[in-house]
Every structure is written in C-alpha cells, then in structure tokens.
A and B are shown apart, each in its own frame.
Chain A
C-alpha cells in the first residue's frame, strides 16, 4: 500500500501557481519525500525530493511541514505542458536499495 495520500485531481489556470498537496503522516525519520510526474504515454519523470528542508530547483519547489507529515509541490507558473499525473512518494530503504511505492497520484489539469 502507498504510504501517501493525494487528491485524485486538481485544476489550475495557465500562468498561475499549482499547489499539489501530499499527506504522509506515517513517514519515518530517515525517509525522503520524492515527487515524480507522468505525462500521458510517457514514463514517470523525476521532479524533486527532500528530507525536511524546503527545496527548489528549475522545475518546482517542495515545501515540507515541520512535523514532516505532509508536503506541497509548487509549480510556480503552470503551463499547458504541466498537465500530467503527479506522484508523491516516500522512499523506504531496503537491502541494497530503496523500495518505491507509487500511489494513484494527482491528475493535474492546466487550463488556458
């Protein structure tokens, strides 16, 4: 079972910020929060990850609450090409690597 909870869908106007929430209330102290997105008919694409500090890169910002039980992915100026399914994942370490459990994700629709 996925360790995260996300809304099934969201809408956003083009040019506005898209704020995608994720709940991970059972996260462990050594687990990271990762975000991926999947554009139609493509494989998932890495966006960003964080442990407890807020992170920013050229694609997005990640805000993690102080208790680490939830986070928000922010696309500052959404474009039509950002329409995709966004997955929030909590990484669970296992021997030799990390088990990645995807939930159903949030389907983001960016509208003109």
Chain B
C-alpha cells in the first residue's frame, strides 16, 4: 500500500513570496490533515478535512494560509505572502475514518525555509 505522498520535499523562498504544497493521501482515506512543525516542537494541526469539507481550521492563519481539497482526494496548502516565521516542516496526514480508534498516517513532509 502506497503511503501519503507530499511534494516538494524542500522549498526555499524569500519572504513575501508565495508557495504551495501538495499532498496525495492514502487511497480511500476520507480524512486529511495538514500540520505545521517548527523545529524542536511537536506538529501543530492547521486544518482537517473530511472528504472535501473542512472539519477544523481554527489554527490556520487565514490571512495568509489557505487550503483546499477538491474532489475529496488530493489537497494543496498555500502560503501567500510568506513570513520568516513560516519556516517549518509541513506535514500531511490521512486516516481511514473518524471512529474512536483511527490512526493517522503521515507523509514525509515539506521543509520550507523562508529567507
């Protein structure tokens, strides 16, 4: 079974530029998550989708971050414009269902450096 795919793996941009990350979840997984992980910290949930609907985006900085999951499969996360403090690893995860005991499968992440 293929895992969660993310691209690109690394991205370097200058502040005020825009950037987009792509995630392809495990086939059949209805729930998709985007996390931000700053160096030395645990992952922080940015947004959670159930199929193509948003379940939780309470921690997404909506003035600069946006995410979509068209057709309930692939997802993109965009930052526009980027700030220095956005430097982090962006992790995508998916899970099969939202029952009590679902486990999340994580992709390898995209490491973003904002200069």
Q: Number of contacts between A and B (CB, 8 Å)?
A: 64
Q: Quick one: which of B42, B56, B98, B108 contacts A103, CB cutoff 8 A?
A: B42
Most buried by A among B35, B44, B91, B100: B100
Query: How far apart are A9's CB and chain B's nearest CB, in angstroms?
Result: 12
Tell me the complex Cα distance, A104–B44, Å. Answer: 10
Binds B, one of A13-21, A37-45, A63-71, A76-84: A37-45
User: Chain A: residues with CB nearer than 8 A to chain B?
Assistant: 2, 30, 32, 34, 36, 41-46, 49, 51, 85, 87, 91, 93-105
Interface of A is mostly: loop
Instruction: Please indicate the chain B residues that have their CB under 8 angstroms from the CB of A100 in the complex.
Output: 33, 45, 104
B88 at the interface (CB under 8 A from A): no
Q: Given A45-B106, A49-B103, are A99 and B42 also a contact pair (CB < 8 Å)?
A: no
Knowing that A43-B4, A43-B109 touch, tell me 14 more A-B residue pairs with CB under 8 angstroms: A34-B103, A36-B104, A41-B108, A43-B108, A44-B43, A44-B104, A49-B101, A91-B100, A96-B55, A99-B48, A100-B45, A102-B43, A103-B42, A104-B42
